[in-house]
Amino acid sequence: MRHLLDSTDLTTQEIEKIVLRALDIIAHPQQYAEACKGKKLATLFYEPSTRTRLSFTAAMMELGGQVLGFSDARSSSVSKGETVADTVRVVSAFADIIAMRHYKEGAPRVASEFSRIPVINAGDGGHSHPTQTMTDLLTIRRELGRFDHLTIGLCGDLKYGRTVHSLIKAMRRYEGVHFVLIAPKELALPDYMKAELGDAYTEVSTLEEAMPVVDVLYMTRVQQERFADKDEYERLKDSFILDERLMELGKPSMIVLHPLPRVNEITVGVDKDPRAAYFRQVENGKYVRKAIIYTLLSDEYMHAEPTGHHGETSSCACHNDRCIATTEPVEQKSYIDADGVKRCFYCDHML
Ligand code: NCD
């Protein structure tokens, strides 16, 4: 059985297949109206969400399926101290597929080890958010017609922004893709991700420098909930603000994306610019989640080997305090990446 835990779980051919499926769903919604009839999606959200949870819910409803779950872990047995492992064992008896959002990095991976049904990662801590990435990809395809030979500006919180991390992992596989990183130094992209990019990125300190060269500008919110020091958040939160003046420096063909919610980083004046694609992006989120649910529930995926790297039992413990391995009673596992570095199987941090 296949899960969707990270953008790298999908090959480029599979990404293409899901994008084409989403485009077919957009063109022929009626043909999919009963595609998941009799199936149930469980949404297990341990962290706040509007778009992601509602778009998963709308997606399953439009496929003719039903939805159950919780949007606040305090109202579930989690508040009694239940582990993720036990919760998914229980939920496996009630549903056919799970969408899980968790504040701990690697929680959906732990879930997949105990689940009898496919698990979709709907965002885990600052780690990964593959269905947002598929949303971003469908938007790029619909707006610009291609994934290759693009310059992508990533602006804001590149340290904690899980949508950025997942988008990089997916897009770096296409030819001629270059990233322009725009972030305060305190919120710079983690070194392990920069290492993966090799020479496919440049760092600039202002939006003025980035605007004329980017085809896609991916704005992000400073992730308040991940800061231990609230003063630091206050100091950094308005570091980069996209406004109408800056938009004048951009190419006519560029697009602005944002996973939303926005706080201050894009002024409302930008919304009327046809290049502002973030509300169209939200709509694509529903279509792509329909395509993902449909695909994971298909016979081919229900009987396929899980993808991604395999974890080996490891004697070194993970020191990332946001990692699920530090709280959930799981065996510590590791894998060796392409550069020979030993990493935590759950959160990808170096061991
Ligand atoms: C993002 C998330 O949760 O990571 N939102 C979303 O899923 N659309 C981005 C954010 O919260 O800033």
Mapped onto helix, strand or coil, the DSSP state of residue 170 is helix
Which has the closest alpha carbon to 88: 66, 113, 70, 67?
Answer: 113
Conformation bin of residue 95: beta by default, left when phi > 0, alpha when psi is -120 to 50: beta
Tell me how far apart the alpha carbons of residues 65 and 61 are, in angstroms, rounded to a whole number.
5
Query: What band does 223 get if pLDDT is binned at 50, 70 and 90?
Result: very high
Distance 260 CA to ligand 1 centre (A): 6
CA angle 161, 166, 170 (to 5 degrees): 150
Query: Which residues face 202 on adjacent strands?
Result: 180
Distance 259 CA to ligand 1 centre (A): 6
Q: Taking all residues of the chain, what is their mean pLDDT, rounded to a whole number?
A: 95
Minimum CA distance residue for ligand 1 atom 1: 259
Which pLDDT tens digit goes with each residue over 163-201? Answer: 999 999 999 999 999 999 999 999 999 988 898 898 999
Place of tokens 């990404």: 15
CA angle 215, 218, 223 (to 5 degrees): 170
Which pLDDT tens digit goes with each residue over 284-327? Answer: 999 999 999 999 999 999 988 888 778 899 888 999 999 999 88
Minimum CA distance residue for ligand 1 atom 12: 221
CA angle 6, 12, 18 (to 5 degrees): 80
Phi then psi dihedrals of residue 329, to 5 deg: -75, 65
Quickly list H helices, the chain: 12-27, 51-62, 84-91, 107-114, 130-144, 162-171, 191-197, 207-210, 230-236, 244-247, 278-296, 299-302
Cβ-Cβ contacts under 8 Å for 106 (sequence gap 6 or more): 124, 125, 127, 323, 324, 325, 344, 345, 346, 347
Give me the pLDDT at residue 339, please. 82
Which pLDDT tens digit goes with each residue over 259-281? Answer: 999 999 999 999 999 999 999 99
Q: pTM for the complete prediction?
A: 0.96
Which pLDDT tens digit goes with each residue over 333-351? Answer: 999 988 888 999 999 998 8
Distance 192 CA to ligand 1 centre (A): 22
Which pLDDT tens digit goes with each residue over 67-100? Answer: 999 998 877 777 788 999 999 999 999 999 999 9
Q: What does the DSSP assignment read for 309-330?
A: PPPEE-SSPP--TTBGGGTS--
Give me the pLDDT at residue 175, please. 97
Q: Which two tokens stand for residue 8?
A: 């790298």
Tell me how far apart the alpha carbons of residues 275 and 264 are, in angstroms, rounded to a whole number.
18
Give me the pLDDT at residue 75, please. 75
Question: What does the pLDDT average to over 208-228?
Answer: 96
Q: Which two tokens stand for residue 272?
A: 């009327």
pLDDT at 21 > cutoff 90: yes
Distance 235 CA to ligand 1 centre (A): 21
A 10 A CB-CB count for 146 gives 11
Minimum CA distance residue for ligand 1 atom 6: 259
Q: Which atom of ligand 1 is nearest to the CA of 122?
A: 7
Q: Which atom of ligand 1 is nearest to the CA of 161?
A: 4
* Pocket probe mutation, ligand 1, options 132, 220, 257, 288, max atoms within 8 Å of Cβ: 132
Tell me how far apart the alpha carbons of residues 4 and 97 are, in angstroms, rounded to a whole number.
11
Q: Which atom of ligand 1 is nearest to the CA of 223?
A: 12
* Pocket probe mutation, ligand 1, options 51, 55, 260, max atoms within 8 Å of Cβ: 260
Conformation bin of residue 211: beta by default, left when phi > 0, alpha when psi is -120 to 50: alpha
Query: What band does 329 get if pLDDT is binned at 50, 70 and 90?
Result: confident
Please say whether the beta carbons of 141 and 277 come within 8 A.
no
CA angle 120, 123, 125 (to 5 degrees): 135
| Pocket of ligand 1, beta carbon within 6 A | 51-52, 123, 129, 132, 162-163, 221, 259-260
Q: Which atom of ligand 1 is nearest to the CA of 163?
A: 4
Which pLDDT tens digit goes with each residue over 106-162? Answer: 999 999 999 999 999 999 999 999 999 999 999 999 999 999 999 999 999 999 999
